[in-house]
């Protein structure tokens, strides 16, 4: 019998022995233990050393080994950490945004940013994942930039819409989801203390990612056609911002799509100010009755636009995979930040994502998803309009997963959301979507995360809360 398994055997034996004795009891001597277990004293000593390290035995030299005295479970004293840690990093709340919060099953989940299971590409993804798990490539670490088939598909998606585009698979970096891509972009393109210009309101995840990267956010108001280019230019110039973050198509939460004029103007601004635009194309697969004007990166050849395309919301929450597209030294910086943050993304997830994107069933799924989302959007609009008329819908969203509602002046969105939750309806209070001060009380209501037959009840609850606010 090997020495190693003898030690293990004796360790288990002595541990059991110690458990059976009262605290403070003396254990049999080393010689005695050696004799009864049929091993040498060195083996016994190795076992004892392990149990000392575990805190079960105390050795009193010259006397013997004793079962550790029982102690009252010692209260943790972590108070020293307060002074040691110092001030927290500003700007990142302790909890993720409400879109990600789990709630009791009987809550109507209008807060969630993720589609219901029946709207997901569940079977397609499950098959792809199962196949990927048996692929030989799943047995090797993936390249830190991502696996070639997936990078190629992401580049092809972009290039297919614009032949002038010169996006190749080398311009694509795979990350473990959109949030990771945001942080990689901010950390690669800017330094802590730098400024990033964002629309207000905007995606709370982007706000947190910027804070995590140590950036200061300068907000520019979001208007129905996009930001006012003059305001945006001023913000970039005054604060010497190198980075602008935006969702130019069916933005989360407003649903706004930038007009052609705003698109051209913003491209001119970032070009003349030698800045970067981080374009978050989160809703690419989530068109409703709009047609996407196409990503801005297709009109940019000099690497001003960094494009992010996440797969999670149109596939399943398990496919934590996104593509980031960038060119030039900026891409080197972003790649460097990524490998240091995460080495590589699971090959199983990448292989599965590539299979899904290339599957004939994929465009069918997207068409099905669109039809379902349109129906649900309209149902929620009707329910709110009838039962919660005090909540205004400034803009019908032509893509995305939610409605952005304006509440009556004087209402407090956080209070409204709390009262709705008490009555079993979860909504997203608008405040967390603003990098700075809200421009008024709002709610975001998702129409993809709760079954439509709950919309009427939910709207009634919201209506009652608003009436009494």
Say how far apart CA 159 and CA 309 lie, in whole Å.
Answer: 14
Hey, is 149 helix, strand or coil? Answer: helix
Angle at 331 between CA 326 and CA 333, to 5 degrees: 145
User: Which residue from 13, 17, 162, 379 is in contact with its own copies, where contact means CB under 8 A?
Assistant: 162
List the one residue out of 418, 413, 423 whose CA is nearest residue 460.
423
User: Which residue from 32, 268, 289, 386 is in contact with its own copies, where contact means CB under 8 A?
Assistant: 289
List the one residue out of 174, 145, 408 whose CA is nearest residue 309.
174
Residue pair 234/222 in contact (Cβ under 8 Å)? The answer is: no
- Using CA atoms, how far residue 324 sits from 26, 71, 335, in Å, is 64, 54, 10
Residues 372-411 that bind its own copies (CB under 8 A): none
- Using CA atoms, how far residue 345 sits from 79, 121, 209, 211, 322, in Å, is 37, 21, 19, 24, 10
Q: Which is nearer to its own copies, 336 or 464 (CB)?
A: 336
Q: Does the footprint of its own copies cover residue 149 (CB under 8 A)?
A: no
Segment lying near its own copies (by CB under 8 A), choices 3-11, 35-43, 358-366, 422-430 = 3-11
Segment lying near its own copies (by CB under 8 A), choices 218-226, 292-300, 423-431, 438-446 = 292-300
User: Which residue from 82, 104, 360, 453 is in contact with its own copies, where contact means CB under 8 A?
Assistant: 82
Q: Does the footprint of its own copies cover residue 133 (CB under 8 A)?
A: yes
Q: Does the footprint of its own copies cover residue 167 (CB under 8 A)?
A: no
Q: Which is nearer to its own copies, 31 or 371 (CB)?
A: 371
Residues 342-361 that bind its own copies (CB under 8 A): 342-349
Q: Which two tokens stand for residue 137?
A: 């490539």
Residue pair 335/390 in contact (Cβ under 8 Å)? The answer is: no
Residues 258-287 that bind its own copies (CB under 8 A): 260, 263, 274-276
Segment lying near its own copies (by CB under 8 A), choices 34-42, 94-102, 410-418, 450-458 = 94-102
Q: Which is nearer to its own copies, 253 or 463 (CB)?
A: 253
Q: Does the footprint of its own copies cover residue 317 (CB under 8 A)?
A: yes
Q: Is the dihedral of CA 10, 11, 14, 20 positive or negative?
A: negative
| Least spacing, CB of residue 438 vs its own copies, in Å | 21
Q: Does the footprint of its own copies cover residue 469 (CB under 8 A)?
A: no
Say how far apart CA 456 and CA 442 lie, in whole Å.
Answer: 20
Q: Which is nearer to its own copies, 7 or 407 (CB)?
A: 7
How many residues at the interface with its own copies, by CB under 8 A?
Answer: 114
| Least spacing, CB of residue 445 vs its own copies, in Å | 18
CB-side neighbour CA atoms (13 Å) of 290: 22
Q: Which is nearer to its own copies, 342 or 392 (CB)?
A: 342
Residues 41-80 that bind its own copies (CB under 8 A): 46, 49-50, 52-56, 68, 71, 73-74, 76-78, 80
Peptide bond into 341 cis (omega under 30): no
Residues 191-230 that bind its own copies (CB under 8 A): 191-192, 205, 208-209, 211-212, 214
Residues 105-124 that bind its own copies (CB under 8 A): 114, 117, 120, 122
- Using CA atoms, how far residue 423 sits from 6, 102, 356, 404, in Å, is 62, 16, 40, 21
Q: Does the footprint of its own copies cover residue 363 (CB under 8 A)?
A: no
Say how far apart CA 106 and CA 417 lie, in whole Å.
Answer: 16
């Amino acid at each position: 019998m090997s020495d190693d398994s003898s030690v293990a055997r004796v360790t288990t034996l002595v541990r059991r022995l110690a458990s059976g004795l009262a605290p403070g009891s003396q254990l049999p001597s080393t010689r005695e233990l050696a004799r009864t277990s049929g091993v040498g004293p060195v083996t016994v000593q190795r076992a004892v050393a392990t149990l000392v390290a575990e805190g079960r035995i105390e050795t009193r030299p010259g006397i013997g080994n004793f079962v550790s005295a029982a102690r009252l479970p010692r209260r943790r004293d972590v108070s020293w950490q307060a002074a040691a840690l110092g001030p927290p990093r500003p700007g990142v709340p302790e909890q993720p945004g409400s879109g990600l919060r789990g709630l009791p099953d009987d809550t109507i989940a209008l807060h969630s940013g993720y589609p219901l299971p029946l709207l997901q590409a569940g079977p397609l993804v499950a098959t792809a994942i199962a196949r990927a798990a048996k692929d030989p490539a799943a047995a090797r670490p993936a390249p830190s930039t991502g696996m070639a088939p997936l990078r190629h598909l992401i580049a092809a998606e972009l290039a297919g819409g614009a032949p002038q585009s010169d996006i190749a698979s080398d311009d694509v970096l795979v990350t473990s989801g959109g949030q990771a891509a945001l942080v990689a972009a901010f950390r690669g393109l800017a330094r802590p203390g730098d400024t990033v210009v964002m629309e207000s309101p905007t995606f709370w995840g982007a706000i947190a990612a910027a804070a995590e990267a140590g950036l200061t956010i300068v907000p520019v108001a979001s208007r129905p056609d996009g930001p006012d280019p003059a305001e945006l230019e001023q913000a970039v110039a005054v604060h010497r911002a190198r980075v602008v973050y935006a969702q130019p198509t069916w933005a989360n939460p407003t649903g706004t799509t930038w007009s052609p004029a705003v698109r051209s103007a913003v491209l001119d601004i970032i070009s003349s100010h030698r800045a970067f635009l981080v374009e978050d194309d989160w809703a690419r697969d989530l068109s409703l009755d709009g047609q996407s004007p196409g990503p801005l990166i297709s009109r940019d050849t000099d690497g001003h636009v960094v494009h992010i395309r996440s797969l999670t919301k149109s596939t399943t929450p398990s496919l934590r995979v996104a593509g980031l597209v960038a060119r030039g030294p900026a891409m080197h910086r972003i790649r460097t930040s990524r490998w240091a943050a995460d080495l590589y993304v699971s090959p199983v997830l990448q292989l599965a994502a590539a299979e899904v994107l290339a599957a004939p069933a994929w465009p069918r799924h997207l068409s099905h998803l669109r039809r379902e989302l349109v129906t649900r959007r309209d149902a929620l609009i009707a329910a709110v309009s009838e039962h919660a008329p005090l909540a205004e819908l400034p803009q019908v969203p032509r893509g995305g997963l939610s409605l952005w509602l304006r509440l009556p002046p004087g209402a407090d969105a956080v209070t409204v959301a709390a009262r709705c939750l008490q009555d079993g309806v979860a909504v997203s209070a608008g405040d967390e979507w603003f990098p700075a001060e809200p421009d008024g009380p709002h709610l975001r209501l998702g129409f993809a995360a709760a079954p439509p037959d709950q919309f009427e009840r939910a709207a009634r609850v919201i209506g009652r809360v608003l009436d009494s606010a």
